[in-house]
Amino acid sequence: MEQKYLMHLTVDEFKILCKGVFEETISKVLKEIEDDKITPYEKKKTDTTNVHEAAELTGFKVASIYSKVSRNEIPTLGRGRPLVFSRKALEKWLNEGKPTVIDMMYEDWKEKREQKGKKTF
């Protein structure tokens, strides 16, 4: 195909150009997936989760999750919108009997002080 400026292409020529670029990109991505260089989105397992996944993981309703966040009763990564949770922190929170965030922070503080050799209260 001869070189033309994009604005000088006909609609059919533009469609052919887009189709070629799309097919080239798709084949490159599929090859990388086959070579295990990248992982498809469905296979990725991240530690962060949103409020709906947190509700599913904990068994609480979404409204209860929001309520627990406002009272510092559940660990979060961020308190803005959208709420972001750590899956590991939620699982730890559930396994420890659902302590409040303040209790968890106190326990972390106490462990750090003990590691430094300082007495706690």
- What is the rounded CA–CA span in Å between residue 66 and residue 110? 28
φ, ψ dihedrals at 72, nearest 5°: 55, 40
Name 86's bridge partners. 48
Kindly report the pTM of this predicted structure: 0.49
- What is the rounded CA–CA span in Å between residue 72 and residue 38? 38
DSSP string computed for 44-109: ---SEE-HHHHHHHH---HHHHHHHHHTT-S--SB-SSS-BEEHHHHHHHHHTT---HHHHHHHHH
> In a structure prediction context, what are the per-residue pLDDT tens digits for the chain, which is 121 residues long?
577 787 888 889 889 988 988 999 989 888 877 776 665 554 456 788 889 999 998 888 999 999 988 888 888 887 777 889 988 889 888 888 877 777 777 888 888 888 887 665 5
